[in-house]
Amino acid sequence: MELRSAVHRRFLSLRQPVLAERGELDREVDAVPQQAGEAGSGAGEHAFPNLGKRSDGTASGAGTLPATMPEPFTHVLRVRYGECDPQGVVFNANYFAYFDIALTELWRESVGPYTDMIAAGVDMVVAEASARYLAPAVFDEELAIDVAVTRLGTTSMGTRIAVLRHAASGVGGAKAAEPAGADGAAGGGVVVEGTMRHVFIDARTRLKTEIPPEIRRGLERHLVTEAETWSTSG
């Protein structure tokens, strides 16, 4: 609870330039082709018996309005030896795997198992991904990965990710990640900042499809509605 409270405070203390107008980012990757004259994606025809439920089977908030303040989501992992490069730090590309792991766990908590969505005929593809490296992480270090949904369009979603140091306090105990240092050095909070944009597709045709209502409702709990940023280096 202490970590979640600290992360929630972090969400409320940060500011970012307002994203482009809602219609602008609905440009989707040309690599995901649309059939000429396609009349609807059929997304509404999919049945999602298990989506909209958390991993423990309880409702994820389906049928409720988004919270006034976004719920923070944090996934903690420990750096494994094989994820480090010859310099002794986490290899840069592995942070994108960390992003994916955290997003999968957010999905499990807010929507349900990702495989249930695929079984129901919907999948996602990455359209954009970026990372800004502020400090190194090393073998056996615990990292807290914060995920916030920044946009829910018609067929795409945007997320912002922050990888922070997670200070352990004894076996099985933990303290909130330390505040970020002004220079992003070790001992500061933020290690990497990132953004991702995913496009929803029909799992069979691989064409764009609308975000199913059950999934949208689950993700709205983590939707950032105010201009925010996670910049720490000025």
Spatial separation of the C-alpha atoms in residues 105 and 101, rounded to whole Å: 6
Answer whether residue 138 shows pLDDT above 80.
yes
Inter-residue contact 195 to 128 (CB < 8 Å): yes
Q: Which pair of tokens denotes residue 188? A: 């500061």
Nearest to residue 162, comparing CAs of 130, 123, 118? 130
CATH number for the domain that contains residue 185: 3.10.129.10
pLDDT band at residue 83 using 50, 70 and 90 as cut-offs: very high
Answer whether residue 66 shows pLDDT above 60.
no
Q: Which pair of tokens denotes residue 156? A: 């795409």
Tell me the pairing of strands 73-78 and 122-133.
Answer: unpaired
Is residue 54 in a domain? no
Is residue 19 in a domain? no
Least confident of 55-59, 75-79, 129-133, 140-144: 55-59
pLDDT band at residue 51 using 50, 70 and 90 as cut-offs: low
Contacts 24+ apart (CB under 8 A), 172-176: 174/2, 174/3, 174/76, 174/142, 175/2, 175/3, 176/2, 176/3, 176/5, 176/6, 176/7
Is residue 181 in a domain? yes
Is residue 139 in a domain? yes
Q: How many distinct structural domains can be found in the chain? A: 1
pLDDT, tens digit, for every residue of 6-40? 444 454 444 343 333 334 444 444 444 444 334 33
Tell me whether residue 146 is exposed, middle or buried, using C-beta atoms within 10 angstroms of its C-beta: 0 to 12, 13 to 18, 19 or more. Answer: buried
The helix (run of H) or strand (run of E) holding residue 121 is none
Is residue 157 in a domain? yes
Q: What percent of the chain has pLDDT over 70?
A: 57
> Of residues 29 and 128, which shows the higher confidence score?
128
Domain that holds residue 80: 2-13+75-222
Residue 155 phi, psi (nearest 5): -125, 5
**The 142-152 sheet, strands edge to edge:** 73-78, 142-152, 156-165, 190-202, 122-133
pLDDT, tens digit, for every residue of 141-183? 999 999 999 999 999 999 999 999 986 322 223 334 444 333 3
Spatial separation of the C-alpha atoms in residues 136 and 89, rounded to whole Å: 6
Is residue 148 in a domain? yes
